[in-house]
Amino acid sequence: MKQLLWSIIGVASLMGSFFLLFIVPTRWLKVERIGWETKVTKKIVQISDIHMKHLRVPLSTIKGVIESEQPDYIFLTGDFIDENEAELLKLDSFLEMIATTGVETYAVLGNHDRYLQSLDDLEHLLRSHQITLLKNEWVEKEDVFLVGIDDFGEGQHDMETSFSFSNPEQKDVIVLTHDPEIMTELDRPFTMLVAGHLHGKQVNIPYFFKLVNMGSVARSGKYQGKHPHDKGHFYISKGIGQSNLNIRFLVRSELTIHELGKR
């Protein structure tokens, strides 16, 4: 009986440790604040790598942050789904939550989104919630250019078309994309660029991106945070959802507040 009791305690301890180390980081949202030296003063909420099948952060928590911050824009930087069409119903609830905040929202696609048999369903869903999808497109606002570059990893990017506007030096150029590996080819000046894709490793073990090939940017040690580039500065979000295995280790789910006009 005593041996059985100790066995139960041991199993419970292992399960508790697993929950604390691998599950809690997927639920415990980290709100990152990043300052940018820009001409304009604005606030942008970035939500990346939703992977709807594996999103554990409550929608009410995300909505609470957005309503508290009152941003000018929301950027959704790709990977809305993890695997297939079955996630679109759940994604509909997420996008409805975003729409109810009343914040102007822009999106780009990620590599996982192209696992869908047809992108039309996802694109229709985004439009139905008044979310502007930018596929190598730009939007000129009164004080900024918003540029959305399609996914680099899937070869969908077109930088010439994305930057086909004139007189960019007169306004801040704000870029959203999914895969930061685009930095290896980006040759146009920009004020700031935001991406995701790498999940901050998701399982933060040493030399992870030396063993798993996620591109030269990740391999160089740039897999999260803000970094300089000869054409501007870029930021890589750790993402809010998980891909493949629904776990994180030493990396919390992230929602990012970009404060423009602040260093």
Picking from 94, 11, 114, the residue whose alpha carbon sits closest to that of residue 47 is 94
Question: What CATH class has 2-260?
Answer: alpha beta
- Predicted pLDDT of residue 91: 97
Q: Is the pLDDT of residue 16 over 80?
A: yes
Q: Is the pLDDT of residue 58 over 90?
A: yes
Overall average pLDDT of the 234-241 stretch: 98
Considering only residues 79 and 13, tell me which one the structure prediction assigns the higher pLDDT: 79
Supply the mean pLDDT for the chain. 93
pTM: 0.94
- Predicted pLDDT of residue 15: 76
CA distance 202 to 41: 32
Q: Is the pLDDT of residue 11 over 60?
A: no
- Predicted pLDDT of residue 213: 87
Give the single-character DSSP code of 82: S
- Sequence-ordered list of residues with C-beta below 8 angstroms from that of 91, at least 6 positions apart, any chain: 50, 52, 80, 81, 122, 125
Confidence category of residue 17, pLDDT binned at 50, 70, 90: confident
Give percent above pLDDT 90 in the chain: 85
Picking from 217, 181, 220, 218, the residue whose alpha carbon sits closest to that of residue 202 is 218
CA distance 146 to 139: 5
CA distance 108 to 177: 6
Confidence category of residue 182, pLDDT binned at 50, 70, 90: very high
Q: Is the pLDDT of residue 106 over 80?
A: yes
Supply angle C-alpha 257, 259, 261, rounded to 5.
Answer: 170
- Predicted pLDDT of residue 23: 94
Q: Is the pLDDT of residue 110 over 60?
A: yes
3-state secondary structure of 252: coil
Structure-token pair, residue 262: 């602040």
Tens of pLDDT, residue by residue over 240-259, are: 999 999 999 999 999 999 99
Domain ranges of the chain: 2-260
Q: Is the pLDDT of residue 8 over 90?
A: no
Overall average pLDDT of the 50-60 stretch: 97
Tens of pLDDT, residue by residue over 144-176, are: 999 999 999 999 999 999 999 987 778 999 999
CA terminus-to-terminus distance, the chain = 63
- Predicted pLDDT of residue 19: 83
- Predicted pLDDT of residue 168: 73
Q: Is the pLDDT of residue 47 over 70?
A: yes
